[in-house]
A and B are shown apart, each in its own frame.
Chain A
Amino acid sequence: MKNLKLISMILILGGTLFGQQPSGLEIIEKTYNRPSSKTLEANLSMILENSRGDQRVREIKQFTKDFKGVEKKLMVFLKPSDVKNTTFMNWSFDDGSEDQWIYLPALKKIKRISSDSDSDYFMGSDFTYDDLGDRHPAEDTHKLIGEETIDGYDCYVVESIPLDEEYMYSKTVTWIIKDKWIGYKKEFYDEDEDFLKRLSLVKYDEFGEIIVLTEVKMENVQNGHSTIMRLSDVVVDKTIADNMFTERMMKRGIR
């Protein structure tokens, strides 16, 4: 389940919390514990920018489906043209393990790839695999450190410190929009407790009860890189066949 939720950026509006001052943990749990949509189909634009302002854009068609105990995802590259139909499939199991495959049309072969850890960056972006997944609230200690109104949104400010001292971040601070239970801004601090990255919400769309964060931006303040992930043509809870997530489908591509 780790990878799907944030990359698809589905955060579902939780119930309104009565009671004046929820605890940090309660806020994070409210945000985490939401029923998720079963499937998601969308076009993803990944816009990578370095400190000199050079930009790269990738257009990807992505399908996600929630199975029992595993979340499966298929990503088909549309652009740039020299990687067109390159397909990436990811099975993310609830126990944290992952299987990944890639199909290179020029090689006409499917290959398993494995990545060392959650701290690896996803496709050269500023998101680590872990940033894209949902971090379980029990993995950190949370503290409500204040309330702030930014850009017209009333937010709780929660500081989260990982229990695992070896974790790649020493601390994160999240601004959560009060009545929507979605993160508006998140700041990441590196192992040396220096400010590393800032995640911000640019745009979200509501599909009935479901809120999809359709544009988010991650900025690495240390090296000047940034990544924008923008979803378009979002379709929520459409029926996607189970066999979409197979090697055969990877080879065939989408028509």
Chain B
Amino acid sequence: MKTIRDKILNHPYLTMGVILLVTVFFFNQIKEKGRMETDLDKYMPHNHPAFVYSDQAEEMFDIKDGIIIAIEHPESIYNPETLQKVKDITKALQKMDEIHKADVTSLYTADNIVGTEDGMDVKAFYKRVPKAEKLDAMRQGVAGNDMVAGRLVSVDETVAVIIARIDDDVFTQDFYRAIIDLGESFEGPEKVYVAGSPIVEGTMALLGPADMKRMVPVVVLAILLVLIGVLRSLKSTIFTFLVVAISSIWTFGLMAVVGIPTYAVSTMIPVMLIAIGVADGIHFYSHLGIFMRKNPGADKLTAVKDMLNGMWKPVVMTSITTAVGFVSLLTSQVYPIKYFGLFTAFGVLVAMFLTLVLIPAGIMAFNLPKLRIKDNQESTHDSSVAEKFSAGLLSQKRLTWLITLGLVIMSLWGINKVWINSSFLDKFEADSDIVQTDAFINAKFGGTSTINVILETEANGTFKQSDVLELVDEMQDDVESYDMVGSSFALTDYLKRMNMVMNEDKESHNTIPEDEELNAQYLLLYEMSGDPENLWKVTDYDYRRLNVTFQVKSDNSKVINEVLDRIEVYRQPLADMGVELNYAGSGYKALIFTDLILEGQIMSLALSLVIIVALLSFMFGSIKAGIVGSFPIVITALIGFGVLGIFNIPLNTTTALLSSITIGIGIDYAVHFLDRYRLNRRKGLTLEKAISETMDHSGRAIVFNAVVVIAGFLVLLASVFPPNRALGALVSLNMFISFVGTLTIMVLLIVKSGIFSQNDRGVK
């Protein structure tokens, strides 16, 4: 080790040159091979049973997410111009490569099942736009048809929608742009709105990274400024920052080399590396500063050697424990999260390596940071602050314990209220266009979110049986009575409609026929006169499976779960008839997916806690030390989740992942403090003196580190994209709790447990 160290110190330019070359290599790899994975479907664990089932059902019933284009006329859509636009938009969508012709639905394409004096007719509402005098007949036809009114034309007749269902894998930025442009080109005097879950996801995929691109430079600037403030040296600041920047480049470079795309969660890697990576540099420079103050005349080689000797161990220890914490994310069932864990771990180790190599080389090449006299004065001031703080802490043990206990109890209470929200829409500002459009369409139509209930039996023809169909119809009515459910659609709706039109349009026959054979004959009739493909979206050839679609006015998980609860009421009655109930569709999958992420997150937190206790116990040669050292993590995790519950901030994929940062940071603080404290005790300092000195040395660096990262991430509060704001707030909060927890309650635990005291020598 020593010879490598000496070689590096003797050839600082060569060292930096090699690092630069590697960085350039990785940078080129990113440029050449790096690619973003924006297709959300790629995130899904497709081998999970719920996903396997849903995917099958989606294929069977051709269930797809729909883009909704709504056209609003201030008075009524029943005028030649608006109807022409409905037709033109329909045709334009049908011509797009990404959309199958048959997947576009509007008043123009809809089948109109009507009763005639002597029979039934299935026809289009219009082919050519009707003349003015015929508009009223058309209007009445729509109003009297439950299968169209409120679904394709709003009940107040001011809005018509064109729905284009698209496959999971066709959504691109260009396509998104094309749809938005298409909508805009039909504006005036009508207003045109574009909505639907693909659009929401698309906007998010566009807005999130765009906002990040804007905010990252500001965050970096803030961190640089605060770094200068605490390190008091431009040189030190630059090198500390280079460690973070280069480790990010190497990490993304490695991703490009091994051919793993950048997922949305991977954009969190630099966030993690900033929070964790600057710590190493700060501890190094902080140590160096203290040495230089104590030994004003020392030359740079001596100073660097002292820095390396004093700090390599804690830096290696913190990095390894942090990396292990992230590797534990491999337990997740979600591949992007596995990769996130793995590559963040790699990044953390690169940051460690760079701290050990680049920072010393930098000092050798560009000399020691200058120390101003003013600093000397302040340093004595700092020491006294540390001393006073230590003394105060030790004399107020009871108070500290009480506050901690209070916080823990509050957090436990809060954790009970934590809920998960897989909603995409809730990620936007309440007054943003996309939320407003969604609300508008939800007010006029059934709902922009969809839940598919798949019913299945063993016996062919079950879903021609009147009693089964009546139960399904009852379920539809019952669930629809919840005001967040706008409408539902199933085979029952076809049968009720046909029964009515075949019986002189009498509302009293808007029911499921009692005769099973009549159901079969109606369905045959529909096949003969309508588009039978429509039937295979709600049932199958053997009438063994049924797809019941509910339109819900929100994608918020609380609402979705409420709807599911109402559906669940029918699980047993259906089972009594031999019918099994399952769910499908993207909304349901998103719900499961978020649960999976959280479950994986909690699993990995628990696992990494165990590993970390073991690692710390091994490193410090004492199980007690292992437990004491992991305490800040536990506190941070508890309070972190507790705050979410108390302030009613739902967990989502981003916020859930953030708990990983808890480990990374919490463990760093603890290890630095413990390592320094052990050293001080070995030197023979008394408990009080050792704590006070550790406070001054490690405590100072911990405060610096916390201040830098908190300042940087607080900047994100100015972001226009709510998830990025949440990110800023939560990283700051986690940093804050970690540092306060380490410097207060962990210190008291050290005292209480008596680790590293003369009596407790442990294993060397």
Contact = CB atoms under 8 A, between A and B. Distances in A.
Interface in A49-107: 50, 52, 54-56, 77, 80, 82-83, 86, 88, 101-102, 104-107
Interface stretch (B188-196, B425-433, B525-533): B525-533
B124 A116 contact: yes
A106 B515 contact: yes
B103 to A, nearest CB: 12
Nearest to B532: A124
A114 B532 contact: no
B119 A123 contact: no
Interface stretch (B19-27, B352-360, B516-524, B621-629): B516-524
A102 B526 CA distance: 11
Contact of B522 (A48, A101, A104, A112): A104
B118 interface: yes
Contacts of A83: 517, 520-521, 524
B116 interface: yes
A111 interface: yes
Given A82-B461, A113-B119, A113-B121, A88 B542 contact: no
Interface in B500-548: 502, 513, 515-522, 524-525, 527-529, 531-532, 535-536, 540-542
B522 A114 contact: no
A109 interface: yes
A104 B60 contact: no
Interface string B108-128: 000000001011111110000
Contacts of A123: 524, 527-528
Contact of A104 (B521, B535, B540): B521
A38 B119 CA distance: 30
Contact of B521 (A48, A86, A101, A121): A86
A251 to B, nearest CB: 14
Contacts of A232: none
B589 interface: no
Given A111-B118, A112-B116, A113-B529, A82 B541 contact: no
Contacts of A80: 520
A115 interface: yes
Contact of A107 (B116, B521, B528): B521
B464 interface: yes
A106 B121 contact: no
Given A54-B540, A54-B542, A82-B461, A113 B521 contact: no
Nearest to A77: B524
Contacts of A102: 119, 525, 528
Contacts of A55: 541
A82 B520 contact: yes
Contacts of B122: 113, 115-116
Contacts of A106: 513, 515, 517-518, 520-521
A116 to B, nearest CB: 5
Contacts of A112: 116, 118-120
Contacts of A107: 502, 518, 521
Interface of A: 48, 50, 52, 54-56, 77, 80, 82-83, 86, 88, 101-102, 104-107, 109-116, 120-124
15 contacts: A50-B536, A80-B520, A82-B461, A82-B464, A83-B517, A83-B520, A104-B502, A105-B517, A106-B520, A107-B502, A114-B121, A114-B529, A121-B531, A121-B532, A123-B527
A-B pairs, 9 with minimum CB distance? A112-B119, A111-B119, A124-B532, A106-B518, A82-B520, A124-B527, A106-B517, A104-B521, A54-B541
